[in-house]
Amino acid sequence: MFFLRATTSVRSLIHRLPVVGSIVFGSLLVWPLLVAFPINGGDALWVSQSARALVGCARQGDWSNCPGTFQFGLTQHLPAIFLTWRGLGDDAVVFILTLINFMAFGWLLVRGIRFFGRGSRSMWLFLLTFAVGPVYAYSVYSFSEGLTLVFLVALVIELATRQRFIVLLLLAFVSASSRETAFLTIAPLALAVVIGDGGSWRKWLLRLRPILIGTACGVAAVFWFNFWKFGTLANPHYTDPIRRVPGLTLKAKNAAAIWISPSGGVLPVWVIGGALALFVPAMALVGFRRNRGKSIAAVCLIVGLVAQTGLLASWYAPFGWVAWGPRLILPVVGATAFIAVFLFNEQIERVMSFFKWRIGATGLGLSVLILSVLPNLGFILDRTAIANWFTPPGPLLIPGCVEPANVELNRQNYFDCALDFAPWQLGRTLWDVGLHQVGRGWATICGLFVLSMAAGLATARTTPTGDKTLLDG
């Protein structure tokens, strides 16, 4: 009897260690975020100034071609317009916009745990994907991509669970109005969720109806907002021919760089998020005969990724310019990875079984995972490292390049230097710069946090316990 009790106690302790380790080391990793908060990535200051100009135009009754405005989306502008209308200065607006991002990151983690069910394998995989990496790093930046990701994940969760008409409509609206091309992201994500759940096409249309209405309203709002700012339905910053990448060759290089560039591609800086978004749906295509619905859902997700990659590859700043990692594609990659965690259980279990008894492969995989997330922590610990990489003696200022590389100043020179060379130079990559900002202490804490979550993933139950419906499929 004593032996059985001791064995039970040891097993209970083993199962609790990942939870305790994740809480302890995860709490420690919150400290760099609090110290760095807020990081003005550049957008928020311009958004604040643009919102101030819009408030001035509104007070004068001017609803077209408002001077002093910038290209950022309606969703990003709305809180800034309210804050500037209330008389807050630029610093206060930047602080509050960044605080909204930080709170959204916290909501994402809490809601994801509840959705997948505490202690489930899906929950641990979710945390391993979203609690570290670029999502963690952008939580204290003033960029809006983290908030857009939260809107998309909230839309997916609502579509997979309660399916309330008005909530789906509002979430589709705010997601679609976040930027001009957002509707191309919403459609494949929503289709993947409803098709993966099975049923007839009539059922799909009924579930998609509020999303279609909300997305259409969001697109109309974007057109109206552009007219208020610029006097045209289009956004001149995005449609200006000078910012379009010339030739198919450079576009193809850009597309490859978005995913595998050593200076910020998806896979080098977010290996688990990129793998879930790209490779897991691809694996689902192989099993087309076993589950046609899941395979079609996988096609929808892959089409969404390809479309967004193609759009960004055709623009002069496919990464988001002075930013760490694949900032602009972060929302669609994150939302796709989130769907993959609960929609493609069979494929994920096959990957898990491959690593189960292969110590060498497991060690290599964990090493790659830890190395991919450390630079994200590095750019939180040293907020000047990113900007320094883009300024003298940064790699963009190579011999023959105009200083600085500027698309308006010299278009051909910009594309030759900033896009054709910089993402692929290996002498001093942006990934390497971020890695060097992490001391041994923080690297150890980050590594132990990842290992704790990986241990939880390996020892967790596979039975879903959250509040979703699709995990049962």
The residue-averaged pLDDT of 433-445 equals: 88
pLDDT tens digit sequence for 190-224: 999 998 877 777 888 888 999 999 999 999 999 99
3-state helix, strand, coil in the chain (%, to 5): 70, 0, 25
d(CA 154, CA 363): 34
Positive or negative, the CA dihedral 334, 339, 345, 347 is negative
Half-sphere exposure of 169 (CA within 13 A, CB side): 8
In the structure, what pLDDT confidence band is assigned to residue 469 with cuts at 50, 70 and 90?
very low
pLDDT of res. 471: 44
Q: What is the mean pLDDT of residues 54-61?
A: 92
Query: Mapping DSSP to helix (H, G, I), strand (E, B) and coil, where does residue 247 land?
Result: coil
How much is the pLDDT for 7? 47
Longest Cα–Cα distance of the chain, Å, equals: 83
Instruction: Classify burial at 13, counting beta carbons within 10 Å of its beta carbon; exposed 0-12, middle 13-18, buried 19 or more.
Output: exposed
Distance CA 446, CA 77 (A): 34
Number of H helices, E strands in the chain: 22, 0
CB atoms within 10 A of CB 25: 19
> Could you read off the pLDDT of 158-181 as tens digits, one per residue?
999 888 899 999 999 999 998 888
Task: Give the whole-angstrom CA distance, residue 193 versus residue 341.
Answer: 12
Say how many residues make up the chain: 473
Residue type, position 96, single letter: I
pLDDT at 387 over 90: no
128 CA to centre of own chain = 14
Q: Are 100 and 147 in contact (CB under 8 A)?
A: yes
Distance CA 139, CA 142 (A): 8
pLDDT of residue 410 exceeding 50, the answer is yes
Beta bridge partners of residue 461, listed in sequence order? 120
Q: Which residues contact 248 (CB under 8 A, 6 or more apart)?
A: none
94: pLDDT strictly greater than 80: yes
More confident residue, 167 or 423: 167
CB atoms within 10 A of CB 244: 14
CA distance 281 to 305: 11
pLDDT (0 to 100) of residue 185: 87
pLDDT at residue 351, rounded to an integer: 79
CA–CA distance, 73 with 90 (Å, rounded to integer): 18
CA distance 268 to 427: 16
Q: Which tokens sit at 424?
A: 């692929």
**Burial 62-96, CB ≥16 within 10 A → b, else e:** eeeebeebbbbbbbbbebbbebbeeebebeebbbb
Tens digit of pLDDT for each residue in 4-45? 454 444 455 556 788 888 888 888 888 888 888 877 766 788
Report the SS3 class of residue 63: coil
- Tell me how far apart the alpha carbons of residues 278 and 370 are, in angstroms, rounded to a whole number: 20
Range 376-400 average pLDDT: 69
What is the rounded distance in angstroms from the CA atom of residue 338 to the CA atom of residue 206? Answer: 23
Question: In whole angstroms, how large is the CA radius of gyration of the chain?
Answer: 23
Cα–Cα dist 73/82, whole Å: 15
